[in-house]
Structures are given as structure tokens and as C-alpha cells.
Amino acid sequence: MISIFQNYGGELLYGLGQTLLCSIIALVFALIIGSGFAILEVFPNKFLRIISRVYIEVFRNIPLLVITMFFYVVIPMYIVEISGFASGTVGLILYSSAFIAETVRSGIQSVDPGQMEGARANGLTFWQAMRYIVLPQAFRYVIPPLGNQFINLVKNSSVLAFVAGFDLMYQGNVIASDSLQSMSTYLCVGMLYLILTLPLSYYMRYLEKKLA
Amino acid sequence: MLTVLGAYSWINIRFLLEGAWVTILVSVCSIILSYIFGVILGIIRYVEIKYLSAIVGFVIDIIRNLPLILIIFFTYFGLPNIGFKPDPIWASVIAMAVFESAMVAEIVRAGIVSIPTGQMEGARSTGMSYWQALRYIILPQAIKNMIPAIVSQFISLVKDTSLATIIVLPDLMNHAQIIYGQNTNYTIPMFLALAVMYFIVCYSLSLLSQYLDHRLGTAKKSGEVEEVVQGAER
């Protein structure tokens, strides 16, 4: 195992960087899109609610791999040439945003509706009430589950290995076939993933206990 | 247009259905295995057996925080290094079962913790042993509480079987790839078919989970929340 780190350290670190980069880009966009759909879902307009419901159910119930491969195979064929990294990240954004939307929605709904009614009665518009009254309170409930979604996102970013995204998992496969030591290579890759996910997971558990 | 419709010829559909059968087979095997091992591991983690529980807890944490693809690769390409060579179907069943039983174990532990301690104390004070109380009083209530969570875990299991195409498991995803690999005109129809087939299976499971949620009364809170939202709409 040590020899893997010695011989292929650079490749592994590059993969770790790509995984982290992809996860952070995907997290930012998925948070924005997910929160948008979550707000649409509690919007006082039936049509918008149906749109957001359909979006969430569709992307939650289709495997991430199918979404990613769609962007990797179909989009370059008919529309525009995109790299494996980009198609993987877009797939990850769409997939995660549906889960984040569901998380944020349950956070918004766990805020006492009296808060919204009170704010509206005070003359705030729906958006103002959402922005200044409901969302800040919802945010507190939502942080631990959002952290878990981020851990899932880091793990799911390994789907980039399917589309030549040069992430940690992809580099792991390359190294495994190069060094012929599959077992120790995958153990190394696993350790690097754990460096990303395990501290986050323990921190989220601590936060959950603290906020509960 | 005709070329596109050709994607849904009987031969292709039958080929896809064969893939779907493998997907379902692998899912069902891993669901059964991960349920059994998940419940056992979850109980071990809860009852605080000296050393054993701590070790089991640590291993569960590690497995939960690894990507499933890594575990699949490890099973299929890593284990042959120490002399164990599973075929793609067994490799994916083993990998999925290991990963999902860690997930289920965590749900089971959370389910048991959610039962008020008074239940255990009451059962013990009526003369039951610790294991009897666990078996007849705590577990039935805990399992009722965690069924919706377990069903949604199994939904993600069904979706995750698609990852096993990378070790050439002849599942739905793999067969679709073979079809559009032969004729690029069939790419979009094949992705459509994939999306629809996975969606039907996963969405009906998620409806089942919602139904169980209401039926078992575990969703009292979310039920209240729904009423509240309808109230806000007026």
C-alpha cells in the first residue's frame, strides 16, 4: 500500500482534487437549484407546485448513472461537445438538487405556519416573508440533513469514473490496472475517500445531537 | 422516424427485459441479505456488547462513508488478489449486500433508539429477560417505525444496481448500452426506456413507502405538516 502512495501519489492527489472540485461545484449549484424548487413546492400556486413535484420525483427515481450517461453520450452526439468532467458534474447537480429540494422543503414545512401567516399579516409579501422569516428558521433544521446530502454527493461523485472525469475513482482504476495491485490500490483510494467523508459525517452527527 | 421506432422492436424489448430481470434478481438477493445482516448488525450496535459493538460501529461508519462503486470494484477486482473470484452477479450481490447492510444497520439502530426507554424498563420489571424484552417488546415497535426509511433505502439500492454495469453485470443499463452501441440512432429511445423502467420500479416503491407511512401511522408528523400547507394555501 505504501508503494502505491510512493509511486502514484501525484495521480491520487490529482484525482482527490478533481473529486473535491466536482463535489463543490455540484454542491453550490445543487443548493441553489434545490432551494429554488423547494420554495416553488410551498408556493401558493398549484401549477408551479406541480412542476417542482415532477422535477423532484423524476430526478429522484432515475439512477444517477443514467442521468450522467445521458449527458455524456447524447448531448455530444446532437448538441455540443462536453468533457466527461462537465457531464458528470451536470448529472450530479441534477440528481442532488432533487434530494436537496426534498430536504429543504421538509425544513420549510417544519417551521410553524403561524410564522408565515404572522409575517403576511404584518404586510410582508410572500417572498419577503420567505426570505426574512421562514428560511432563516428552516435553515437551522436543515443543516444536519444537508450535511448528509453533501457526504452522499462526495460519494456519488465517483460516478465520474464512468465518464472519464479523472476523479479519484477513475485514477484508482488506472493505477490498479497499471500496478496490477488492485487490492491495495482500492484500499488507498478508499482511505482518501474516508479522509473527505468521515470527518464530515462525525461532525454532522455531533451537530444533530447539539441541535436536537 | 422509423429508425427511431425500430429501437422498440420486440427483440430489443425482450433484451431489455432480460436485463431488467437481472436487475431485479440482484436487487432482491441483496435486499434479503442486507435486511438480515442489517438487523443483526444494528442490534449488535445497540446492545453495547463490550468491544464487539465498538468494532461493528466503526466498520459500519467506514462502509457507509465509502462510495458503492469503490466497494463493487474492490469485490470484483480486488478480492481475486487474495484468491476469491466471484462472477459479476455474485460480486455485485456481495458488494451491494455489504454496503446496504451497513446502511440498514444504522436505520435499525436509530429505530431502536427512538423507542422510549420506559418500554424496556416496563418489560424488564414484568420479569422478562433483556433479550426477551428486546425480541418481543422493543423490536416489533422499532421495525414498525423504521419500515418507511428501509423502503427508501431499498429504492436507492435498485437505482444503485445500475453501477454494477462497470463490472459487466448484464443488467438493464448494460443491455441498453449494448443496444445503442450497435445503432447510434437508438441512443435517445434507449435512454428514454431506461428512465421509464427505473422510474416505474422506484416510484412505485416510493408510493409503497408513503402508503406504509400512513398505514402504520408513523407519518403523523408529516401528515400534520401536509394539512398545514393546504391551510396556508387558502
Task: Name the percent of chain B lying above pLDDT 70.
Answer: 91
pTM passes above 0.95: no
Nearest chain A alpha carbon to B174: A66
pLDDT per position as a tens digit, A18-66 = 999 999 999 999 999 999 999 898 887 889 999 999 999 999 999 999 9
Give which of A19, A12, A20 is closest to A185, Cα–Cα.
A12
Secondary structure letter of residue B50 according to DSSP: T
Mind telling me how many Å the CA of B128 is from chain A's nearest CA?
31
What's the CATH code of the domain at B137?
A: 1.10.3720.10
**Are A61 and B155 an interchain contact pair (Cβ–Cβ within 8 Å)?**
yes
Mind telling me how many Å the CA of B190 is from chain A's nearest CA?
10
Number of domain units in chain A: 1
Are the beta carbons of B175 and B162 closer than 8 angstroms?
no
pLDDT at A104 over 60: yes
**Domain ranges, residue B193:** 2-233
pLDDT per position as a tens digit, A180-198 = 888 888 999 999 999 999 9
pLDDT per position as a tens digit, B137-184 = 888 888 888 888 888 888 989 999 999 988 888 889 899 989 888 888
**Domain ranges, residue A59:** 2-211
Best of A16, A53, A55, A109 to disrupt the B interface (most B CBs within 10 Å) is A109
Nearest chain B alpha carbon to A172: B70
**Are B203 and A57 an interchain contact pair (Cβ–Cβ within 8 Å)?**
yes
Residue B127 backbone class (left: φ over 0; alpha: ψ -120 to 50; beta: rest):
left
Best of B45, B70, B165 to disrupt the A interface (most A CBs within 10 Å) is B70
- With bands split at pLDDT 50, 70 and 90, how would you rate the model's confidence at B3? low
pLDDT at A169 over 70: yes
pLDDT per position as a tens digit, A121-148 = 998 888 888 888 888 888 888 888 888 8
Number of domain units in chain B: 1
**Secondary structure of chain B: what % helix, strand, coil (to 5)?**
85, 0, 15
Are the beta carbons of B196 and B33 closer than 8 angstroms?
no
Best of A60, A112, A160, A170 to disrupt the B interface (most B CBs within 10 Å) is A60
What's the CATH code of the domain at A102?
A: 1.10.3720.10
Q: Which residues contact B30 (CB under 8 A, 6 or more apart)?
A: B92, B93, B96, B97, B100, B157, B161
